C-alpha cells in the first residue's frame, strides 16, 4: 500500500539542496524559546510566530518540508487559511511530530523512553486528512556514567520501529530520530560508540518490524564531543567521525539522512553539514538538514514578538535556509554569512 506515494514523498524530502525546517516545539520547549526574547507563550503568540515561518516567501528552493506540532497543524493564518494549505501552495510538504515526549524510563535512572504509541493509528489517519505527508518521532539517548544501557537503546528502538510501521501503513513517511544528546563532558569517541550502538539497534528493529527502509528518513545527531568536554573536536573531525559512524550502521537503501542541530550554533551546524558534503566521497544517501534552533535562531531574535519585524525575520530565515542549502552541496563559505547581512 502507498508504495509510490511514500517513495515520492521521501525523495521530495531530501531533494538535492533541500532540507527540513523543524517548527514542532512542544508547549514546554516553545516557552523556553519565547523566554529568550521575553515573550509570553500564548496561543496567539505561538500562532503568529509559526505564521511568520510558514508564510515566508521563496523558501521552497531550500526547504522541502516543515515539521509541525499538533497545535500548529490545526491553526491558520489571520485570514483563516489553514497552515497545511499555505505550505502546499508554497510547494512545501507538511510534516507532523507525533510522539508525546520523552518520559523517565522505569528502572533506568537518568534515561528516557519516548511515548505516543497508544491511539497512534487513529491520530495518523487524522493528520493525513489535515494534509500531513510525513511524521517525526524523537527518541532521546543520554550519555553519562554507565548510561545509556542496552535496555534504554532497545526500548527506544522498539518504539521508533512501531511508530514507523504505523506511519507507512497510513501512507506517511516516518522520520526516525534517535537523538544522542550533546549534554555532558564525554569525548567524541564516546559519542561515536553510543551513536553506533543506537543506530545499529534502530535499523535492526526497523527490519524486524517490517519497516521499509526505502520509505524511511533518518534524522541523526552528529558525532560530537559533549558540550562540557574540554577537548572539542574541529569541524573536519566531526564530519569525518559522523560519516564513518553512518557508513557502519545505515543501510544504503535509505533515501536520505537529515541532521538535527541539537544545540549547536547556527553557523557551526551549517559548517558541519558543509564539511560532510565537501569531502567529495560518494555516499549512498544525501546528507541534509532538519534543524530547529539552527534555522530559526536568527528569525526568532529578529522578530522579538513584534509585527513590525515580521518581514526582517522572514528574510533572516530565508538567508539561513539558503546557507544550509549551499551546505548540502558543500558550497557554503563563512564569508556568505556577511554577504547576507550586507544584502
Residue identified by cell 489517519 is: 125
The rounded distance, in Å, linking the Cα atoms of 115 and 104 is 10
CB of 261 to ligand 13P, least distance (A): 3
Position of minimal CB gap to ligand 13P: 292
Is 99 among the residues that bind ligand 13P (CB under 6 A)? no
Residue 57 bridge partners (DSSP): none
CB of 293 to ligand 13P, least distance (A): 3
β 102-104/112-114 pair status: antiparallel
Q: Are strands 63-68 and 102-104 parallel, antiparallel or unpaired?
A: unpaired
Among 239, 292, 298, 303, binds ligand 13P (CB under 6 A): 292
In the residue annotation, 177 being an active-site residue is answered as yes
Among 95, 174, 226, 262, binds ligand 13P (CB under 6 A): 262
The position carrying cell 534515561 is 111
Query: In 108-261, which ranges are continuous DSSP H helix?
Result: 120-130, 150-169, 188-208, 235-249
Minimum distance, C-beta of residue 146 to ligand 13P, in the bound complex (Å): 25
- Compute the Cα dihedral for 233, 224, 33, 274 and give only its sign: positive
Catalytic residue among 177, 179, 205, 322: 177
Is residue 209 within 8 Å of 161, Cβ to Cβ?
yes
- 20/152 with CB nearer ligand 13P: 20
Stretch binding ligand 13P (CB under 6 A), from 53-61, 139-147, 254-262, 306-314: 254-262
- Print the binding letters for residues 126-165 with ligand 13P: x by CB under 6 A, - otherwise: ------------x---------------------------
Figure out which of the listed residues 291, 300, 302, 325 binds ligand 13P, where binding follows CB under 6 A: 291
Element (H, E) at 297: helix 293-303
Per DSSP bridges, beta strands 217-220 and 256-259 are: parallel
Q: Rounded to the nearest whole angstrom, what is the least distance from the CB of residue 181 to ligand 13P in the complex?
A: 10
Contacts of 320 (CB under 8 A, 6+ apart): 266, 270, 294, 295, 297, 298, 299
- 25 catalytic? Reply is no
Scanning residues 165 to 184, which ones bind ligand 13P (CB under 6 A)? Answer: 177
Nearer to ligand 13P, 65 or 286 (CB): 65
**Catalytic hit among 18, 136, 219, 322:** 219
Closest CA to 45 of 84, 72, 79: 72
- Provide, rounded to whole angstroms, the least separation between the CB of residue 3 and ligand 13P: 27
Phi, psi of 316 (to 5 degrees): -65, -40
Hey, which residues are catalytic here? Answer: 177, 219
What is the binding site for ligand 13P (CB under 6 A)? 22, 138, 177, 260-262, 291-294
Amino acid at each position: 500500500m502507498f508504495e509510490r506515494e511514500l517513495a515520492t514523498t521521501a525523495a521530495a524530502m531530501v531533494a538535492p539542496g533541500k532540507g527540513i525546517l523543524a517548527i514542532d516545539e512542544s508547549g514546554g520547549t516553545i516557552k523556553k524559546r519565547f523566554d529568550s526574547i521575553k515573550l509570553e507563550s500564548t496561543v496567539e503568540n505561538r500562532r503568529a510566530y509559526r505564521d511568520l515561518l510558514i508564510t515566508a516567501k521563496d523558501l521552497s528552493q531550500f526547504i522541502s518540508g516543515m515539521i509541525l506540532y499538533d497545535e500548529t497543524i490545526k491553526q491558520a493564518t489571520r485570514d483563516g487559511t489553514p497552515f497545511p494549505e499555505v505550505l502546499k501552495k508554497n510547494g512545501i510538504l507538511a510534516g507532523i511530530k507525533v510522539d508525546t515526549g520523552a518520559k523517565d524510563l522505569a528502572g533506568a535512572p537518568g534515561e528516557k523512553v519516548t511515548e505516543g504509541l497508544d491511539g497512534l493509528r487513529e491520530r495518523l489517519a487524522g493528520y493525513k486528512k489535515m494534509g500531513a505527508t510525513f511524521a517525526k518521532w524523537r527518541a532521546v539517548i543520554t550519555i553519562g556514567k554507565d548510561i545509556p544501557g542496552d535496555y534504554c537503546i532497545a526500548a527506544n528502538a522498539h518504539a521508533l520501529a512501531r511508530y514507523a510501521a504505523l506511519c507507512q501503513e497510513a501512507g506517511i513517511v516516518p522520520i526516525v530520530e534517535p537523538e544522542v544528546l550533546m549534554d555532558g563532558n564525554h569525548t567524541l569517541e564516546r559519542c561515536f560508540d553510543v551513536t553506533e550502538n543506537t543506530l545499529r539497534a534502530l535499523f535492526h528493529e526497523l527490519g524486524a518490524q517490517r519497516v521499509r527502509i526505502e520509505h524511511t528518513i533518518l534524522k541523526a545527531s552528529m558525532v560530537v564531543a559533549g558540550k562540557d568536554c574540554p577537548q572539542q573536536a574541529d569541524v573536519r573531525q566531526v564530519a569525518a567521525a559522523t560519516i564513518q559512524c553512518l557508513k557502519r550502521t545505515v543501510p544504503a537503501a535509505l533515501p536520505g539522512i537529515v541532521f538535527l542541530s541539537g544545540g549547536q550554533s547556527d553557523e557551526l551546524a551549517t559548517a558541519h553539514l558543509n564539511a560532510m558534503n565537501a569531502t567529495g566521497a560518494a555516499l549512498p544517501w544525501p546528507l541534509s538538514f532538519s534543524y530547529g534552533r539552527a534555522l530559526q535562531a536568527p528569525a526568532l531574535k529578529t522578530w522579538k514578538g513584534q509585527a513590525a519585524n515580521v518581514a526582517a525575520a522572514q528574510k533572516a530565515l530565508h538567508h539561513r535556509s539558503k546557507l544550509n542549502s549551499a551546505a548540502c552541496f558543500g558550497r557554503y563559505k563563512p564569508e556568505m554569512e556577511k554577504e547576507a547581512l550586507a544584502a
